[in-house]
Chain A
Amino acid sequence: MRPHEVFAALADPTRLEVLTRLARSGPATATELSSSMPISRQAVAKHLVALSVAGLVERHPSGREVRYSFEPGPLGDLARWADDVGDTWDRRLDRLSRSIEG
C-alpha cells in the first residue's frame, strides 16, 4: 500500500470517524458501529471495505458476523515516508550550506 492510497482512505470524514472509533474503543462489528453513529449499517459496511482495502482495518469473521479491528501498520508507512523526505532535505541543506560557505 502506498502512502497516497492510505491517505485517500482517510480523506472521508465519516470513514475517518469509523476508524477513530475502532482505534479508541477496540474491535467492533458494522452493526455495533452504526448504532452509535448517525449512518446506516450499510454505509458503515462500505467504509469498512474501503478501510480494509487500504490495510487500515483487519476482518475477523466469527459466525455470521465480522468484527473489525484497527490496523496501524499503513500509518507507519506514512511515518516512514516522512522520515525519508526529512533525511533527504537534511542532506540537501547540509550541502547547500557547504556550497554557500565554499
Chain B
Amino acid sequence: MDEERFVELAGDIAVERAISLPADPDSVWEHLTDGNLVGDWMEGDVEIEARPGGRITMTPEDGSMVWGTVEEIIPGRRLQWSWRTDDGLPTQVEIELEPSEEGTDLTVRETLLPWKTSGLPPRWVDPPYPQAFLSAAA
C-alpha cells in the first residue's frame, strides 16, 4: 500500500461529547489551559503549553505519561491537540466553546489517528472511516 493512499483513506473513529456550563467562555477557557485548574478535572497531573506546537503531558494517578502537541489555540473558542494515550494509541482532541444563554456550550471530540506501522516514524494523518463497519459491529 503506498503512503499517499494510506493518508487518503485512513479512517475516522471519533467520540464526541457535549456539555452546557454555567460560566462564560473566558472562564471555561481558564479551566482548559491553566495547568493548576486542568488537573482538577482531567485525570492526573496535566501540563500544557498553551501555544501551537506547545507540549501537553498528562500523568494519570494510575499509570504512565500521556504526551503530545498542542495544534491549535483560539482563546475562548477552540483548543486542539494530538497525543498518545497510555495504551499507545494516537488520538486528536478538539474542544470547542460557544457562548450560550446559560454560559458556555462545550463540545469535545476525540479521534483515533491511524499511523503507519512500518519502520518509518509514526505519522499522524487526517481521515474518512467506514463508520458502517463500526455500527455493524456494535
State which of A7, A85, A91, A99 has its C-beta within 8 Å of the C-beta of B31.
A99
Interface positions, chain B 113-138, Cβ under 8 Å from A, are 114-117, 129-130, 133-134, 136-138
Residues on A lying within 8 angstroms of B by beta carbon are 2-5, 7-8, 10-13, 16, 19, 23, 72, 75-76, 78-79, 81-82, 85-86, 88-93, 95-97, 99-101
Whether A92 contacts B13 in the complex (CB less than 8 A), given A4-B112, A72-B137, A75-B136, comes out as: no
Chain B interface helix/strand/loop/mixed: mixed
Residues on B lying within 8 angstroms of A by beta carbon are 1, 5-6, 9-11, 13-15, 17, 19, 21-23, 27-28, 31, 37, 40-43, 87-91, 106, 108, 110, 112, 114-117, 129-130, 133-134, 136-138
Contacts of B116 on A, CB cut-off 8 Å? 8
Whether A89 contacts B89 in the complex (CB less than 8 A), given A5-B117, A79-B137, A96-B31, comes out as: no
Q: Are B136 and A82 in contact (CB under 8 A)?
A: no
A83: nearest chain-B partner, CB-CB: B15
Q: Are A100 and B28 in contact (CB under 8 A)?
A: yes
B1 to chain A, nearest CB (A): 5
